[in-house]
Amino acid sequence: MFGETNHAKEDPAAVFQRIIQITLHVKLSKKSIYPVYNYFHKIHNKTHYIYYGKVATMQKHIVLKESTLSWHTFKEATKLQITEQTKQDIMVAQRVIEAQERETMHTQYHAS
């Protein structure tokens, strides 16, 4: 999961798009970015926006200047040493993504 502050009047989806472009070198179109939910984080005193993006293909490991990123299943991710809030964000994201996939499959089935 990535975090960043918006620039000027940048909307949350644009922030997500920028973070993914800079960090992962993946260019996401606005159409491939989906909101999960948002909430006010009392400790950080700001609203957190949770998004996900759909991509056709992705590298298994991405090497950055100072670290390596790797992908985890939702189940694996919740076992990492992360805050309870981050675990909650991951679980909600999983539910939203799975519901979106079911809806897409349902729509495709009935369109045939």
- Residue 44, judged by CB atoms within 10 A of its CB (0-12, 13-18, 19+), counts as exposed
Tokens found for residue 100: 């979106």
pTM, 2 dp: 0.76
Per-residue model confidence as pLDDT tens digits over 55-83: 887 766 666 777 767 778 888 988 899 88
Annotate 98-107 with b (16+ C-beta within 10 A) or e (fewer): eeeeeeeeee
Residues 6 or more apart whose Cβ sits within 8 Å of residue 112: none
C-alpha span between 63 and 21 (Å, rounded): 14
The pLDDT confidence band at residue 109, using thresholds 50, 70 and 90, is: low
- Residue 108 in this model has a pLDDT that exceeds 70: no
Which neighbouring-strand residues pair with 46? 41
